[in-house]
Amino acid sequence: MKYEKLADLYNSLGSTTKRLEKTKILSDFLKELKNEDREVLYLLLGRVFPEYDQREIGISNQLAIKAISRSTGIGENEIVKEWKSKGDLGKVAEALVKAKKQSTLNRHELDTKKVLENLRKLPELEGRGTMDKKISLITELLSSASPEEALYVIRTVIGDLRIGIQESTIRDAMASAFFGDEAESASHIQGALDKTNDVGKVFEMVKKGKLKEIKEISLEVGKPIKVMLAQKVKTVAEGFEKVGRPCAIEYKYDGFRLLIHKKNNEVVLYTRRLENVTRQFPEVVKYVKEYIKGSSFIIDSEVVGFDRKTKIYRPFQEISQRIKRKYDIEKLQDELPVEINAFDILYYDGKTLLHEPFRERTVLLKKIVEDRKYKIKTAEQIITDDEKKAEKFFNQALADNQEGVMMKNLDSIYQPGSRVGFMLKIKPEEREMDLVIIGAEYGTGKRSGWMSSFVLACKKGSEFLEIGKVGTGIKEKLGSDTKGTSFAELTKMLKPLVEHEKGRDVEVKPEIVITVTYQEIQKSPHYKSGFALRFPRLKSLRPDRSPSDIESLSQVEKDYEKQGK
Ligand code: ATP
């Protein structure tokens, strides 16, 4: 397909903010879309691979600027200047390519296959000397692109397409294009998307028009799917209201999510972000093979770290490096041992279990997992209708160094990717502290152009000492109610206060005071104050407070002591 056609579609989609209109435009497009061109659906989602494949284009603004510069012959400084005034690197590319095209006429036509081919090479290039190759791949596309195509090539590579299309829009458009507007077909298509995590594959099936096939599609071991998420409640009483009595209550482990796939004696491990981390956890592969019965399965679990000597569970931050680190794995395995807590099963020996009730899934799980504490086991669980027992279990989880508990509806299905109320989380009350912002880091991808992580400090006399960073509790965009604080707003406030800039990091004059919530104060060698906050979250800006009103180090010390008791 010509890339021009896709650019036209992007334009139409971008020209309306109304969801129904977007769906209609997309539905008309899908009716015409040939099966062989189905991979453009990945491009519509700002990707080049199916969603189960975690590889991302991952090009920084800087690199995109170099590519624009190389293909148009305009200096990088000039481009940065334009970018600052236009606020959209895609528009800059459009204008510059337009100016250049007036003088040259040697354009080859760009098609979507070529765009996908070049962009797919980008994530493969890692390490030294690859920057140039990356630039060449983008430059090649830009030199064949019309101004409008250049706009979308650049927006695609930097991950900022601005057409407002999500998987759910594609789902509704597919339903409307091939089955009329029935809600039922949309829900079956959603089921197929959940199970395959691949819009291209689902399009192929939908185009054939066989709803029965779509309904019966099975999970595939080895292909990660999105995990089910939890809603939050404040008390166990509220929890029972939502999930019914009795329900299952489990420890909410303070670790990270791990999806365990096994097929033909091969085990593959995925994180919640669908990253394959099998290599990083060889001992887990061994535990799975040794202590879980079954020839093929997909199991949902939480990995939690513990201290080898004291056998006390450790907070997530202390083991987080195991996820990324690709060398010295044996050493790390020894220093930062982990325990797997399995809590759900989605597929077992040929059968997809997403629609089996949780009560049956959890029974099966207990049957096939041989509990080995400090290696692999099923999550601590009680099934009860009694509030007192639930409270006691919650306190036990906290005493065991975990975050709180999960409450789970026994009759519920497993709904991938959704924050439906089938499982709830309860954590202890949060505390609050006023702090001042002393630095920030500029974001990348969708957040490029904004400061997206903020360095916080408490005070000691007239000094400001770092006590952590906050990046949550801040909105990408303010909703129509304009409640909350957005990255754009904070960036605007902080820009005039910048004192030093180094790469993406800036230091700012300590003026902006914010209230953050947190769960616990921890000792930290990282930060100058000697402390760090666990789960800090921006609650609100405090324009009514000045930096001299913020939390003092001695107060932090006192709070730390108090919480120990
Ligand atoms: P949080 O920051 O509170 O973990 P989140 O947005 O990361 O929230 P949620 O879905 O809201 O994720 O909370 C559930 C998370 O808790 C799961 O993603 C999982 O990683 C973790 N977890 C720990 N123990 C369990 C358990 N027994 N059952 C389900 N999830 C668990």
b (16+ CB within 10 A) / e for 331-342: ebbeebbbbbbb
* Beta-carbon count within 10 A of 356 CB: 17
Mean pLDDT of 389-395: 95
Q: Is the pLDDT of residue 315 over 90?
A: no
Q: Which of 285, 229, 283 shows the shortest CA–CA distance to 252?
A: 229
Q: Is the pLDDT of residue 139 over 80?
A: yes
Whole-number Å distance, alpha carbon 229 to ligand 1 midpoint, is: 7
pLDDT, position 483 = 67
- Which residue's alpha carbon is at the smallest distance from atom 26 of ligand 1? 252
- Which residue's alpha carbon is at the smallest distance from atom 11 of ligand 1? 230
Predicted confidence (pLDDT) per residue in 455-507, tens digit:
999 999 889 999 999 998 888 776 655 667 889 999 999 999 999 999 899 99
In 161-288, DSSP assigns E strands to 231-232, 247-252, 256-263, 266-271
- Which residue's alpha carbon is at the smallest distance from atom 3 of ligand 1? 425
Contact partners, residue 252, CB within 8 Å, separation at least 6: 397, 402, 403, 404, 405, 406, 425, 426, 427
| Closest ligand 1 atom number to CA of residue 408 | 28
CB half-sphere exposure, 428, CA atoms < 13 A:
17
Mean pLDDT of 3-9: 97
Distance between CA atoms of residues 262 and 289, nearest Å: 9
Do 487 and 451 form a contact (C-beta atoms < 8 A)? yes
pLDDT, position 324 = 83
User: Which residues contact ligand 1 via a Cβ below 6 A?
Assistant: 229-230, 250-253, 257, 302, 343, 379, 406, 423, 425
Where do you find CATH 3.30.470.30 in the chain?
Answer: 229-426
| Closest ligand 1 atom number to CA of residue 232 | 11
Q: Is the pLDDT of residue 247 over 60?
A: yes
DSSP one-letter code for 80: H
Predicted confidence (pLDDT) per residue in 61-81, tens digit:
999 999 999 999 999 999 999
Contact partners, residue 12, CB within 8 Å, separation at least 6: 25
Alpha helices in 295-339 (DSSP H): 316-319, 321-324, 329-335
Q: Which of 330, 341, 266 shows the shortest CA–CA distance to 297?
A: 266
Distance between CA atoms of residues 376 and 470, nearest Å: 33
Do 396 and 453 form a contact (C-beta atoms < 8 A)? no
pLDDT, position 480 = 58
Cis status, amide bond into 246, omega within 30 of 0: yes
Q: Which fold has domain 61-157?
A: DNA ligase i, domain 1 (1.10.3260)
Distance between CA atoms of residues 302 and 109, nearest Å: 49
Where do you find CATH 2.40.50.140 in the chain?
Answer: 431-564
| Closest ligand 1 atom number to CA of residue 227 | 18
pLDDT, position 476 = 79
Whole-number Å distance, alpha carbon 483 to ligand 1 midpoint, is: 26
pLDDT, position 56 = 85
CATH classification (class only), 229-426: alpha beta
DSSP one-letter code for 155: H
| Closest ligand 1 atom number to CA of residue 423 | 29
Between the alpha carbon of residue 478 and those of residues 144, 161, 341, 475, 489, the distances in Å are 38, 19, 38, 6, 9
Domain at 431-564: CATH code: 2.40.50.140
Where do you find CATH 1.10.3260.10 in the chain?
Answer: 61-157
Whole-number Å distance, alpha carbon 548 to ligand 1 midpoint, is: 37
Q: What is the Cα 443 distance to its own chain's centre? A: 14
Distance between CA atoms of residues 383 and 250, nearest Å: 9
- Catalytic (active-site) positions: 252
b (16+ CB within 10 A) / e for 116-151: bebbbebbeeeeeeeeeebbebbbbbbbbbbbbbbb
Whole-number Å distance, alpha carbon 468 to ligand 1 midpoint, is: 22
Phi first, then psi: give them for residue 433, nearest 5 degrees.
Answer: -155, 140
Least confident of 21-35, 48-62, 297-311: 48-62
CB half-sphere exposure, 273, CA atoms < 13 A:
8
The model carries a pTM of 0.77
| Averaged confidence pLDDT in the chain | 92
